[in-house]
């Protein structure tokens, strides 16, 4: 069992992963600055796991804070979630996104290197595949384009980590390329709780279903898909959390760099998700067709063969379970965490 530093562990994916790490017997240390997460998530992790968390409130841009953490705890590996993540916001705030995501990662790598901790699982994204690759996306495809600064931070951090591994073959790095995580923990204690107006489809649907918003805006219904709306690879957040556990196990016993997709390998349209959520909550969810958003593509889904071969991992849950668990969470937490 390992001592694992989880950066951004109070966030949506981070918090669900913490639950899985604790269940698997790992000791975790969470660092978060609550810029887009809530302290309550940590209490919920403790409630689900029955364990007291080791937690440090700090920003990964703070080199001194990182040094203190690595000095105090003997860290075996890092799972790195911390970062700004809103695509639209990144277009308006490119400097802040590049500084936070890239510089923060560089500070983290420096602290790791100084303490001889050379195992990291990085929270990357399917956005690294850009707009020119055909679906399904395979890990060997070129990843040098993106449609927004957020996506470019992932492209650049992947390259930085590859260069680190070339410079020192003792490093073990897993780049996890997420597709579209939705759903919530079965208990209803943890789920996605964005600040302000949600940027993502699923929490927006949840808020319409619970009556907090009047309707869902569907951006474009003239794509070349089965119903004209954009198709994405939605993955249950608990499947994703389990994928991190597999990636950590791999990193602890291997060296080098591996990029791995975490998705279901199936695409669902915006309206597919909407109708599945209607089934889960037993009511109609109003929506309006809006103009396409700049940078959106028609289809995005994963080839998931590598995750199965390397980790023995594959997604267990379908869109129905994702929606049922998401409805359970928002009913129990209509105002978020």
Catalytic residues: 150
Distance CA 159, CA 87 (A): 20
Q: Which of 139, 192, 235, 238 is nearest to 336 (CA)?
A: 192
From the CB of residue 309, how many other CB atoms can be counted at a distance below 10 Å? 10
Starting from the edge strand earliest in sequence, which strands make up the sheet with 231-232, in order? 268-269, 231-232, 299-300
Specify the residue for token string 């590049």.
Answer: 98
The reply to whether omega before 74 is within 30° of 0 (cis) is no
According to DSSP, the residues that pair with 29 across neighbouring strands are 5, 54
* d(C-alpha 275, C-alpha 267), whole Å: 15
What b/e sequence results for 188-213 when a residue is b if at least 16 CB atoms lie within 10 Å of its CB, and e otherwise?
bbbbbbbeeebebbbbbbbbbbeeeb
Q: What is the gyration radius of the CA atoms in the chain, in angstroms?
A: 19
Hey, what are 154's tokens? 């992932």
| Best CA proximity match to 328, nearest among 221, 225, 191 | 191
**DSSP bridge pairs for 176:** 123, 260
**Which structure tokens are listed for 175?**
């780049």
Contact (CB, 8 A) for 76 and 112? no
């Amino acid at each position: 069992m390992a001592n694992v530093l989880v950066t951004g562990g109070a966030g949506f994916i981070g918090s669900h992963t913490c639950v899985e790490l604790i269940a698997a017997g790992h000791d975790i240390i969470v660092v978060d600055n609550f810029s887009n997460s809530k302290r309550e998530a940590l209490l919920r992790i403790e409630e689900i796991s029955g364990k007291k968390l080791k937690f440090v409130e700090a920003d990964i841009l703070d080199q001194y804070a990182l040094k203190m953490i690595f000095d105090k705890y003997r860290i075996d590996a890092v799972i790195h979630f911390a970062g700004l993540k809103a695509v639209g916001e990144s277009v308006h705030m490119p400097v802040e996104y590049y500084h936070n995501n890239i510089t923060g990662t560089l500070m983290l790598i420096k602290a790791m290197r100084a303490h001889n901790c050379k195992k990291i699982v990085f929270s990357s994204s399917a956005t690294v595949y850009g707009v020119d690759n055909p679906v399904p996306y395979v890990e060997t495809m070129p990843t040098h384009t993106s449609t927004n600064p957020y996506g470019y931070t992932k492209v650049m951090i992947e390259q930085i980590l590859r260069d680190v591994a070339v410079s020192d073959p003792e490093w073990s790095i897993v780049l996890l390329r997420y597709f579209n995580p939705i759903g919530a923990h079965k208990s209803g204690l943890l789920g996605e709780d964005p600040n302000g107006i949600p940027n993502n489809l699923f929490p927006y649907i949840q808020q319409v279903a619970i009556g907090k918003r009047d309707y869902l805006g569907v951006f474009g219904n003239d794509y070349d898909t089965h119903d004209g709306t954009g198709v994405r690879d939605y993955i249950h957040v608990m499947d994703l959390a389990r994928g991190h556990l597999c990636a950590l196990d791999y990193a602890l016993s291997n060296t080098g760099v591996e990029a791995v997709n975490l998705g279901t390998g199936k695409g669902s349209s915006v309206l597919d998700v909407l109708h599945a959520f209607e089934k889960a909550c037993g009511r109609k969810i109003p929506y309006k067709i809006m103009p396409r958003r700049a940078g959106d593509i028609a289809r995005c889904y994963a080839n998931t063969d590598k995750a199965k071969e390397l980790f023995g991992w594959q997604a267990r849950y379908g869109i129905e379970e994702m929606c049922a668990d998401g409805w359970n969470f928002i009913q129990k937490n209509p105002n978020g965490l």
